Structure 1
Amino acid sequence: MSVAEPRRIVLFRHAKADWPEVTDHERPLAERGRTDAAAAGLKLADTGIPFDLALCSTAVRTRETWKFAVQEFPHRPKTVYEERIYDASPGELIAVLNETPDDARNVLLIGHNPGVQGVTDVLAGSVEGDTRTRLERRGFPTAAFAVLTFDGAWKDLEPGVATLRDYWAPSE
């Protein structure tokens, strides 16, 4: 791995959740969510990004999204379930990412809106191609993900330092 190789962050919103009589944190995926999570997993595998680490909210719907998505990966990255991702602001998500070990080059964060979309917007100081237009047109629906790159150490990740390289959302 080259020192000049950029780090990659994939910000992945959980798939569609159901609304049973449980607390928000305990909401499971809906049937469509399970299907969309697997589809997102296929698209993530198609990126060819060899994920070193997955950071996942402790909410039931994010853990289930990850369970269905990772089944499509050629190898399962180390997974850390992080309470601070649940209901996190963009600044809080950056703080979690700042703690990532430097030997991790490619990180997948599975979280919630509005934080996931917000941190995507905050980090992306530049954009490749029509990616921002596609993201603005679709928003950040459930099971969508954005791929960003940046140079430097994780502790140096801050607003505007990344490039938004790709964006995907399931069709509705």
Structure 2
Amino acid sequence: MTSHRLVLLRHAKAEPAGSLPDHERPLALPGRRQASAAGAALAAADLVPSRVLCSSALRTRQTWELARTALAAAGAPDPVLTVTDALYDATTGDLAELVRAVPEDDGTVLVVGHEPTMSHAAVTLAGPGSDEQVLARVRTGVPTSSWSVLELDGPWDATAPGALRLVRLGLPD
């Protein structure tokens, strides 16, 4: 029996780097559509988070807000939201540390972050029982607004390299 699900969502398509600092780059119009579609896809896949850990960057916060709106339209309750600078330049270890601190009663946790952290974390945390095709695809990196699903049989504080199963990759339309 799976006791926990970790969903790693890469932010949607952002405006190109330019005059704004990277942290303040907003979503591009296609990214706004991607983020809404990601929320609807998560709802359709019954991957409604009870807790969201979101990078403090503008594009990740906007991705979450649009995904949240789509989840809410599907009847999902609002999750507990933590926006943190720790996910902006996070390593896989940083991400795992944040997940290990999640309360046990949170069954599904959504992390909204950046590449290459989202794909590296999925590959590093994936262990026995992972879907080999999904693992091979995630190893090459993931596109904007894609989401990886990992399952953990045990407490959140058991989140460690090789301890979860990578079971699904959701790609934007």
What letter is aligned with 1:13?
R
Aligned 1:1-172 pairs, distance under 5 A: 4-19=1-16, 20-73=18-71, 74-75=75-76, 76-126=78-128, 127-128=130-131, 130-136=133-139, 139-171=141-173
CA distance in 1, matches of 2:133, 2:62: 31
What letter is aligned with 2:56?
T
| Percent identity (aligned) | 37
Moved over 2 A (4+): 128-137
Calculate the TM-score normalised by the size of structure 1: 0.91
Aligned length: 167
Q: How many angstroms does 1:134 deviate by? A: 4.1
Q: How many angstroms does 1:6 deviate by? A: 2.0
Residues 117/136 of structure 1: CA separation in 2 closer, same or farther (3 Å cut): closer
CA distance in 2, matches of 1:21, 1:135: 31
Q: How many angstroms does 1:87 deviate by? A: 1.2
SS of corresponding position for 2:127: strand
CA distance in 2, matches of 1:135, 1:5: 22
CA distance in 2, matches of 1:50, 1:14: 17
Q: How many angstroms does 1:57 deviate by? A: 0.6
CA distance in 1, matches of 2:4, 2:21: 36
CA distance in 2, matches of 1:49, 1:141: 19
Any stretches of 5+ residues in structure 1 without a counterpart? none
Any stretches of 5+ residues in structure 2 without a counterpart? none
What letter is aligned with 1:55?
L
CA distance in 2, matches of 1:22, 1:50: 33
Residues 164/40 of structure 1: CA separation in 2 closer, same or farther (3 Å cut): same
Residue deviations 1:18-71 (CA, integer Å, cap 9, x gap): 034111101100011101111111111111123110111110000000011111
Residue deviations 1:127-162 (CA, integer Å, cap 9, x gap): 13632244356x301101000001111111100011
